[in-house]
Each structure stands twice: as C-alpha cells, then as structure tokens.
Structure 1
Amino acid sequence: MHPSLHTLVRPLILSALGFCLAGGALAQEATIRKNLSERLANLPKIEEVSKTPMPGLWEVRLQGNDILYTDAEGNYLIQGALVDTRARRNLTEERLEKLSAVDFSTLPLKDAFVVTRGDGSRKMAVFTDPNCPYCKRFEADLQKISNVTIYNFLYPVLGKDSTEKAKNIWCAKDRVKAWEDWMQRNTPPAGASCDTAALSRNLEFGRQHHITGTPTVLFTDGSRVPGAVGAAQLEKRLSEASSKR
C-alpha cells in the first residue's frame, strides 16, 4: 500500500474497530438488561450495567445503588462481594463507597445547627433522629472528639414523636442546648413553633442521597459512615478526610 494511503486508511480502520468494540459492549449490556428484566419481574430498575475487572463478569447497579453481578447473557445472578485477591481490595465495597459519596460543598448547611468543639478545624455532618438510640450512643462518643465542627441535620424518620421533638429542637431559642439536654440528659425539648421547612428539606435531601438510617455521618472527602461508630474510628475517619482536603 502506498505510504500516504496507509496513513489515511489506518486511522479509519482503528476508528471502525473502536466503534465495533463499543457497539459490542452496548449490545451485551442490552442483552443483560433485557434478560434480567424479563425473567425477574420484581427486580428493581436497572440503573447501570458495566464490565468488572473479572473476565466475563458484569456489574448490575440497581435503583438504590444495590450491586449485583451477572454473566454476559444475564443467565446467572450473584449477590456478594467481588474481591481482588492480588491487591487485597474489596471492589464491591469501594464501588458502593464511591456511589454513596456526597460532595460536602453541596450540603445545605443553613438547614443544620452547628456544634463546635476546640478550634473546629475538622468538619463533619450528621443526619440524626432525636428518638434514635444509636444516635444517643453516637452523641456520647462525640463528646470525646475535639477540634471539630459538627453540622447536625435533624432527620426525623422514626415517627410522629420524632418529628415533634425535631420541631421543638429546631424552634428552640438555643438549638444546641435543647439538643444536648435531650440527647445527653434526657430532658425533653420544650414546645416551640417556627418555620420548620428545613426539616422537610432534610428529608428530601436524604431521600435523594439514599440516607436510609440514623445516624449517618458525612465527611469532607465525600465518604459516609452509616450507623453509630466509636470514638476511635470516628477520629480515624476525620483525620483521613481532613488530610485529603
């Protein structure tokens, strides 16, 4: 082939190959979606289908960010963790952490009340329900943490009494005192009234970001921890998040 002709044709061949490969992946994804949806009527909506590092294994991300795995035809479905034994990494766990990350800068901080300890240099946000026993335990561990700013988002998901207490705390003249009196000393917040639209916005934000339980802790690096973690683990996560800023 003439050199100049080769120069023109080779990129076209490579480009066509690229489109063929992409088309093959899209066709495979379509097959997986079709077969799983038709065969499993109660399967939640499939949000994404993508290849994994393991040959022949595909990741299926469902609505709500649940992760399943399947073969190239959608004939088999696997629930569990995918682990890279060479790197000793839990790929499923890493993927879920990435999916659940929340950009700290997008938090509606005006809808939280703030507790500052020490110089407040480290930051975290907590979605919390006043009637959640794990939140009370977590609050006790928070007393051991210094140099932190805590944005508390009232997130009443445990019923009408939770909503009522959250309203009274939010409308209190001193929100921090009302919160700490209840969570640390079991002194119920006094009845109060004000604009409580912030609580509705918190619930909506939580739904959008799949915050399904309390407490849920969000860190400045985008990571989150669902559930009450001890002071040692919390200290570790705060230090890790601060070092990434």
Structure 2
Amino acid sequence: MQATKFLPALLAFAALTCSFGASAQDAEIRKSLEQRIPQLGKVDEVVATPMKGLYEVRVGTDVFYTDAKGNYLIQGELIDTKARRNLTEDRINKLTAMDFSALPVKDAFTIVRGNGKRKLAVFEDPNCGYCKRFEKDLQNVDNVTVYLFLYPILSPDSAEKSRNIWCAKDRVAAWHDLMVRDKTPEAASCDTGALQRNLAFGKKHKITGTPTVLFADGTRVPGAIGAEDIEKRFAELASAK
C-alpha cells in the first residue's frame, strides 16, 4: 500500500528526470556543433531517431544526423529497411509542406482541363528544360486545375520571357506556345509586380529549383515528374479523404 501511495510521485519524478536528460543532451549536441561547425548555422531542433544513438539535427528545413555527443555529423538519408521507408525524405516532406489554400494564386495564371476538380500548383522558369519536359507530360493529365507561377530564376532572359508571357493577352496560350511548341512569346509589357512577389515567396519557402510541384495536401515535389506519377499522387490523395 505504501509503495502504491507514492507511485504517482515516482512516475512524475522519472518523467522529469528523462526530460532533463534529453534537454541536457540536446544542449550538448547544439553546443558541440555550433562551436565546431559555425557555418552550419543555428540548430533549430534536435530529436532522437528510431536508430539507437543517432539524433536528427534540423537547421531550417535541412536535416543532418549526429551521435549523442555531437562528435560526428552525417549528411545523407536514413532508410528504415524493415518498413521500406526513407525517413529523411518523409521528414523533409513534412518540413517543406505548405498550406495550399494560402498560395497567392492572384500571382499565378490558371490552366483548367476537363472538370478541373483535381488541383496542383507549379513554379516554373520558361528557360528550364525540365519544365518543358514536365509541361509536355502534363498535357496527358485531365480533369485538373493548374496554378502556374512564373518563377524566373535561371537568367535575365528568363525574366524577359516571363514578362512577355505574363503580359500576353492569352497567358495560357503564350505559355504553351513556348513550353510545348518552342515558340518564343511576343514582346509585351504590363505591371510585373506578380513576378517579383513570386520570387520573394519562393525565397521565403526555399523553392530553389524548377519545376517545383505542390499538391493540395501541401506536399511538394522538386523536379519534373511524369503524368503517371501525378496520377498516382492524385489517387493517393483521393483515397486519403
């Protein structure tokens, strides 16, 4: 009876001790890495991984791994072979996820095919070869609404072509003429504040390459993906509802 009486207090003390131990280890790892590798930047988070003795170190949306003392730093991917999952990829996808409903769609132009029920957003540079491949494949995806954000990051010519497309009478036609049919858009001029806002938005959310595809659940896919992969992702989203 006496032991039972003090059990809640013992459990609370044990939890406090574990918390203190974790905090002390967190602090030790942060101190070691920030002192020894200052170029790494400020460590935002330290968490234990499923692998005993290995800790995840998060700097912004970048993920590294270290031992309990911060003596070694690993840059790479952690794979759960039993579950057959890339834990690093899962973690980065979660860190880089965006609120699709909060996208500044006023700074994009809209392409609708079929009933337009399925939605995605894409950041693209008009001089990006991978974007052209992506656009040609995207022609095979029906019943979709695409919010196209012009994102001229590759060259000054990218900014010029983006301006001509944004200022065209028919933006969708001008875009497809360039990306699918290799037809250079005619010179045009108008207010291009949207393009500058796109660049600022992309910098804030660390969109560093094109194309970058965003799905309605907030996940992003960097790089060109084929129609088959897009359909697979749409099917996963539909089954998750």
Q: TM-score range by the shorter chain?
A: over 0.9
Deviates more, 1:16-25 or 1:48-57: 16-25
Deviates more, 1:97-106 or 1:77-86: 77-86
Q: Is the 8 A contact 1:221 1:244 kept in 2?
A: no
Matching residue of 1:101: 97
Matching residue of 1:32: 29
Q: State yes or no: 1:59 paired with 2:39.
A: no
Matches within 5 A, 1:144-159: 144-159=140-155
Q: Provide the rounded CA distance (Å) in 1 between the counterparts of 2:8 and 2:205.
A: 43
Matching residue of 1:178: 174
| Alpha-carbon distance, 1:14 to partner | 2.5
Q: Which amino acid aligns with 1:11?
A: P
User: What percentage of residue pairs aligned between the two structures are identical?
Assistant: 60
Q: Provide the rounded CA distance (Å) in 2 between the counterparts of 1:113 and 1:154.
A: 9
Q: Provide the rounded CA distance (Å) in 2 between the counterparts of 1:239 and 1:225.
A: 16
Matching residue of 1:236: 232
Count, aligned residues: 241
Matching residue of 1:192: 188
3-state DSSP of counterpart to 1:42? helix
| Alpha-carbon distance, 1:129 to partner | 0.5
| Alpha-carbon distance, 1:45 to partner | 2.8
Q: Is the 8 A contact 1:59 1:67 kept in 2?
A: yes
Output the TM-score relative to the length of structure 1. 0.92
Q: State yes or no: 1:202 paired with 2:236.
A: no
Q: Which amino acid aligns with 2:40?
A: L
3-state DSSP of counterpart to 1:123? strand
Q: Which amino acid aligns with 2:161?
A: K
Matching residue of 1:86: 82
Gaps of 5+ in 2: none
| Alpha-carbon distance, 1:116 to partner | 0.6
3-state DSSP of counterpart to 1:20? helix
Q: Provide the rounded CA distance (Å) in 1 between the counterparts of 2:126 and 2:206.
A: 19
Q: Which amino acid aligns with 1:171?
A: C
Gaps of 5+ in 1: none
| Alpha-carbon distance, 1:159 to partner | 1.6
Matching residue of 2:43: 46
Q: Provide the rounded CA distance (Å) in 2 between the counterparts of 1:151 and 1:243.
A: 23
Q: Provide the rounded CA distance (Å) in 2 between the counterparts of 1:205 and 1:24.
A: 39
3-state DSSP of counterpart to 1:81? coil
Deviates more, 1:170-179 or 1:10-19: 10-19
- Residues 59-108 of structure 1 show CA distances to partners (whole Å, capped at 9, x for unaligned) of 01123x22111111101122222222222222111111111211211111
Q: Which amino acid aligns with 2:54?
A: L
3-state DSSP of counterpart to 1:46? coil
| Alpha-carbon distance, 1:51 to partner | 0.9
Question: Structure 1 runs of 4+ off > 6 angstroms?
Answer: none
Q: State yes or no: 1:19 paired with 2:16.
A: yes
- Provide the alpha-carbon RMSD of the alignment: 1.7
| Alpha-carbon distance, 1:18 to partner | 2.0
Q: Provide the rounded CA distance (Å) in 2 between the counterparts of 1:178 and 1:242.
A: 32
3-state DSSP of counterpart to 1:185? coil
| Alpha-carbon distance, 1:20 to partner | 2.0
3-state DSSP of counterpart to 1:144? coil
Aligned match of 2:218 in 195, 216, 222? 222
Output the TM-score relative to the length of structure 2. 0.93
Matching residue of 2:70: 74
